[in-house]
Structure 1
Amino acid sequence: MAKKTSGFLLGAIIGGTAAAAAALLLAPKSGKELREDLIDQLDDMSEGKASELAGIAQVKGNEIGDFAKHKKEEYSWLGDKISNQVDQAKSVSSDLLENLADKTGDLQEEFKRTSGEVKGRVSELMEEDIVLKEDEISDEIYSALDNEA
């Protein structure tokens, strides 16, 4: 049924256009007036088609905008959830880095303190000329003495 209707409308438009062209061509006007009339009618038809297409574009644009707005509202929870998880990850990583920096600083201070104590003890032993039997000296003391020498 739709094919018959669209075919009829197309035929009516073509027939109307042909009738208008025939009426213009058969009218008792000069060539210049006839050309001006044809150009005016062509301009009117072009403007009408342009207005029609602009109207369709505006309607479709509004439909797409409404659809996008609806989807944005429908999935707004997703953006909020992602944002919350990113904030949480930033907070956790910041806390971890801060704790790691504190522990690294503590270990560095402990290492410096222990190293200083060992160096001090080795220096005391070297100054006192304490004689130890070889089996009483650990590998660590040997290495410390080698490093000092």
Structure 2
Amino acid sequence: MANFERNSFESDKRDDGIHAKDFVIGAVTGAIIGSLAALLFTPKSGREFRQDLNDQAFTLRDKTDHIRSQAVLKGNELSSTVKDKTSTISRKVSEQSVDLVKKVKNLKPADGDVENPIDELFQQDSQSEIQRKLDETKKAFDETESKLGH
């Protein structure tokens, strides 16, 4: 159920973005068509009509330049915000990973056993090796003693 709600929310979010985009395109297109219709159906001389058409073209160009500059400004602000957030998140993850590594290194077993099972195997091997050498030394010592006749 939660997955369905999440997918529904995500699709609504995408739809809102598409609707807003379509609305802006429609508004600009409607404004251009409305301006041209008003110019065409208004009784004016050729010279006045051309002057009005030029004025409208310059006005449209100025508005387009203003919208473009606003879009670039917002894009730069968004980019800066994303970079700041990314660096903040990266720094926090790094700090937490360092803390986690420190905690893991400081963990000690509660029952006093060897920390690493592999180390325990090596310790057992070394202890049995030491015991074997002690036994060999004792045996050699006993043999030497028996040869000397004690």
Shorter-chain TM-score: which interval? 0.3 to 0.5
Query: Which has the larger Rg?
Result: 1
Q: Give the TM-score, by structure 1 length.
A: 0.37
TM-score scaled to structure 2, two decimals?
0.37
